[in-house]
Amino acid sequence: MAQLLTPTKHELGGLNVQRLLPHMKKRMVGPFIFFDHMGPTQFSSGRGVDVQPHPHIGLSTLTYLIEGSLLHRDSLGNHIEITPGDVNWMTAGAGIVHSERESFETRAQPHTINGLQSWIALPKEHETVSPNFEHFNRHKLPQTVKGGVMKRVIAGQAYGLTSPVKTYSPMFYVDIIANNNSDISLPSDTQETALYIIWGEIRLGKHHFKTGDFMLIDDLTLTIEVVQDARFILLGGDKWERVPYIHWNFVSFSKERIEQAKLNWQNNNFPQIPDDNLEYVPLPVKQIRDSNN
């Protein structure tokens, strides 16, 4: 009915990170091949997030904040600050470099960062598209409010709403805030579905889940019953019959393409970020993960 997946803990650019996908029990949910909860992490004045320039291929990244702000820069020349409720959608495709830091004003005072970051794998026929970046203000995202339940579609299609974010495969990514005693249907009765609780408590069938739980929902006829006021994310999409390879920040159906990306980064053949090119993240030494099992 619902399988609970335990996250692994990481540190990324100064942030405490709970990594929920990929998981040894489930590599992908729909096109989602990576799902992190960043923070909440509190910083004192002068300290903050420093994710140095690094490359990507073969995926789209989706950043969605709950608290705080981040400053996105990339090799296309984009330079934009994201705040809670907004969406940064970066399609790496053939290759892009970006960094995630903070504005001068944010770093100058005590602050908190709390947010979600996902990688959405690109289908084989689209994995070498030209890189692109889009920023969507929260007011541009479709939402409904009814009976104590707020639903916002961040990306894809769900509950009769369509996000303006351009996606490359069928998917949904929904933020929901609901009062206790609310009943909420799942967004699809055919697509793979996962649920992550930001805060609160819910019940699925006979099982209760609480803040920080991430679960795969096997029975798509279930109704989400809100036991305590809750905020949670629903994500998923059509099941992928083949999972691409992953090495570091590179995703591809071709090992050769990943090897070339590694060489390109080592040899400084990726484009640079115009206003952030004084440092970078070195290529880690590890093997390509064969995800096709």
pLDDT tens for residues 136-159?
999 999 999 999 999 999 999 999
From CA 87, how far away is CA 221, in angstroms rounded? 30
pLDDT at 86: 98
Asked if the model's pLDDT at residue 247 lies above 60, the reply is: yes
In a domain, residue 282? The reply is: no
Residue 29: inside a domain, yes or no? yes
Which pLDDT band holds residue 292 (cuts at 50, 70, 90)? very low
Query: The sheet that has 70-74: what strands, in order across it?
Result: 51-56, 96-101, 70-74, 79-82
Residue 290 clears pLDDT 70, i.e. is over it: no
Whole-number pLDDT of residue 10: 86
Contacts of 264 (CB under 8 A, 6+ apart): 55, 95, 270
How many Cα atoms within 13 Å fall on the side-chain side of residue 199? 7
Q: Is residue 287 part of a domain?
A: no
For 153-194, the pLDDT digits (tens) are: 999 999 999 999 999 999 999 999 999 999 999 999 999 999
Q: Region 52-67: what's the mean pLDDT?
A: 98
Span 79-88, mean pLDDT? 98
Q: Report percent pLDDT > 70 for the chain.
A: 97
Q: Does 280 fall in a domain?
A: no
How would residue 287 be classed by pLDDT, with cut points 50, 70 and 90? low
- Looking at residue 285, what is its pLDDT? 79
Count up the domains in the chain and report the number.
1
Hey, what are 258's tokens? 């990943």
> Residue 293's pLDDT is what?
37
Judge whether 253 lies within some domain: no
The reported pLDDT for the residue numbered 84 is 98
Residue 250 included in any domain: no
Residue 286 resides in a domain: no
In the structure encoding, which two tokens stand for residue 109, read together? 């005072």
* CA 75 to each of CA 30, 67, 70, 93, 232: distance values in angstroms, whole numbers, following the listed order: 28, 26, 17, 13, 33
% of the chain beyond a pLDDT of 90 = 92
Average pLDDT value for the chain: 95
153 found inside a domain: yes
pLDDT at 286: 67
Find the CATH number of the domain harbouring 179: 2.60.120.10
Around 56, how many Cα atoms within 13 Å sit in the side-chain half-sphere? 28
Would you say residue 67 has pLDDT above 80? yes
- pLDDT, mean of residues 118-143: 98
User: In the prediction, which pLDDT does 289 show?
Assistant: 53
Domain of residue 151: give its range: 2-237
